[in-house]
Structure 1
Amino acid sequence: MTDRLIPLYPPTHPEPVQLTHLYRDLPLPVGEGLFVYGNFVTSMDGRIALGDGLPAQAVPGTIANPRDWRLFQELAARADILISSGRYFRDLKAGRAQDILPLGHDFTDLVKWRDQQGQAPQPDVVVMSASLDFQLPALLLEQGRRVWVATVSSAPAEGRARLERQGGRLLDCGPGPRVDARLMMQRLAEQGYRRAYSVTGPWVMHELLRAGVLDTLFLTHRLRITGGADYATITEGPLLDPPADFDLAHLYFDPEGDGRAGQLFARYDRQAG
């Protein structure tokens, strides 16, 4: 299996490029503000997760693949902090989540690379939750990460006390009922963070889009149609008004995929204004 990708856009680099380190070495903005980016793998019919015949929706094995997973981890290696959700930790406790949060134990080269850049071995974590009905895994703190909990001022006092005992650092981000994503980003920027990577699901993505704080979206388009009646797309929630407009920044074709269906690796940058 080759490690080469075919560049499709922009049309200035016609020669094949290497998949490994494609996103690790990708130029990303560096400034005083917080650069926010997210990532999904999706089927041609828009499925990022399926629940048909399962206890809960999950990324289906028909679209997940090691090549996309490698790039997911490379994007995590670029982050100062990962954006997660209370739902993720509930799924993790129930055994339905993919990992304890990147970087995964199979990607020691990326941990080493972070060390060479003067970064901690693992990115910090911020958990968005208004209800606070989840537990923080001890492993996160044992890895030396700072774990923030972005919540609302009306959040239950019992949940606040429990998460603080577990080592969480609470950030009040609006009165509720939802966490104010724009205020959360301001709070994180005040703590010195410059790159935040959303590694959670479509409801958090909707909040990031609604608040206008998502700068870049990386999408892996598997060239495969899955169907399924119980599914999620890249964003779930009320109509976005105005809609979020993006420009295509790059597009690569990976003919390998899993040896059958190939995939496209795309980067979309949000239009200003």
Structure 2
Amino acid sequence: LGNILQLGRRPDNQDLIHWRQRHGLPAQPAIVVASASLDFPVPASIHEHQQAFYIATGRASDSHKMATWRERGYEVILAGREQAVEGRPLIEYLAARGYRSIYLLAGPQILETMLRDAVLSRLYLTLSHQLIGGSQFHSMIGGGVMGAAGALQLRELYLEHASEGTTGQFFACFEPLLQDSG
């Protein structure tokens, strides 16, 4: 859980908390952890910042682990037929809870299900100007051929030039060609 989003940890981003509050949002965004195994720690900073915290898993995940999370006071979202979380049920659940926008920090499986279920509206991607590879390298999406579900259209592209001792990078925004119409 190294990518936990918390605002106001530095003096230079206090304005983000004020912006959220002016727009009727809680000071800190809610966090949803998608997990088939249900084996992960909850960083103390989530409680310190009073963030809403949900756990999403599939219906076939370990019922004892789900019960343990519930006993600890966490809401467990059942968002998939098997152990893995599926995009559409997760998005529908969160939408029913009033969430209109979701910032997703996730791996290949979640990206794949969001695309296949046509519930991803935008993909922001940082492309570092360096090559990586080797036996431990994974691509953005595993599984079968994506077909039309993987077709993206570039909407925005920004360049951050390299500075001394670093590589440059692109910041890109893509929109899927297939999107949920509902």
Q: Shorter-chain TM-score: what band?
A: 0.7 to 0.9
1:231 alignment partner in structure 2 = 137
Structure 1 runs of 4+ aligned residues shifted over 6 Å read none
RMSD of equivalent CA atoms: 2.3
Q: Give the one of 14, 25, 32 matched to 1:126.
A: 32
TM-fit CA distance, 1:159: 0.8
- Does 1:270 pair with 2:139? no
Alignment of 1:107-186 (within 5 A): 107-186=13-92
Counterpart CA distance in 2 for 1:102 and 1:112 is 16
Counterpart CA distance in 2 for 1:201 and 1:272 is 20
Output one character per residue of 1:109-151: Cα deviation in whole Å (capped at 9) or x when no partner: 4333323333222110112123322343343234222212222
CA distance 1:254–1:176, change in 2 (3 Å)? same
Aligned residues: 176
- Does 1:209 pair with 2:100? no
TM-fit CA distance, 1:169: 0.7
Counterpart CA distance in 2 for 1:120 and 1:257 is 37
Contact 1:135 1:163 in 2 (8 A): no
Contact 2:56 2:77 in 1 (8 A): yes
What letter corresponds to residue 202 of structure 1 in structure 2? Answer: P
1:103 alignment partner in structure 2 = 6
Contact 1:136 1:168 in 2 (8 A): no
TM-fit CA distance, 1:259: 5.5
TM-fit CA distance, 1:187: 0.8
What letter corresponds to residue 103 of structure 1 in structure 2? Answer: Q
Counterpart CA distance in 2 for 1:181 and 1:258 is 41
Contact 2:125 2:172 in 1 (8 A): yes
| TM-score, structure 1 as length reference | 0.57
Counterpart CA distance in 2 for 1:202 and 1:229 is 17
* Structure with greater proportional strand content: 1
TM-fit CA distance, 1:217: 0.7
Counterpart CA distance in 2 for 1:192 and 1:251 is 31
| TM-score, structure 2 as length reference | 0.82
Alignment gaps of 5+ in structure 2: none
SS of alignment partner, residue 198 of structure 1? coil
CA distance 1:231–1:108, change in 2 (3 Å)? farther
Percent identity for Structure 1 against Structure 2: 29
CA distance 1:167–1:264, change in 2 (3 Å)? same
Output one character per residue of 1:198-256: Cα deviation in whole Å (capped at 9) or x when no partner: 11222221222222211111112222224433112322333324441111111122224
What letter corresponds to residue 209 of structure 1 in structure 2? Answer: L
Alignment of 1:237-256 (within 5 A): 237-256=143-162
CA distance 1:211–1:272, change in 2 (3 Å)? closer
SS of alignment partner, residue 150 of structure 2? coil
CA distance 1:165–1:138, change in 2 (3 Å)? farther
Alignment of 1:80-95 (within 5 A): 88=1
Q: Give the one of 66, 77, 96 matched to 1:190.
A: 96
Contact 2:115 2:176 in 1 (8 A): no
CA distance 1:156–1:272, change in 2 (3 Å)? closer
Tell me which of the two structures has the higher relative contact order, counting C-alpha pairs closer than 8 angstroms and 6 or more residues apart: 1
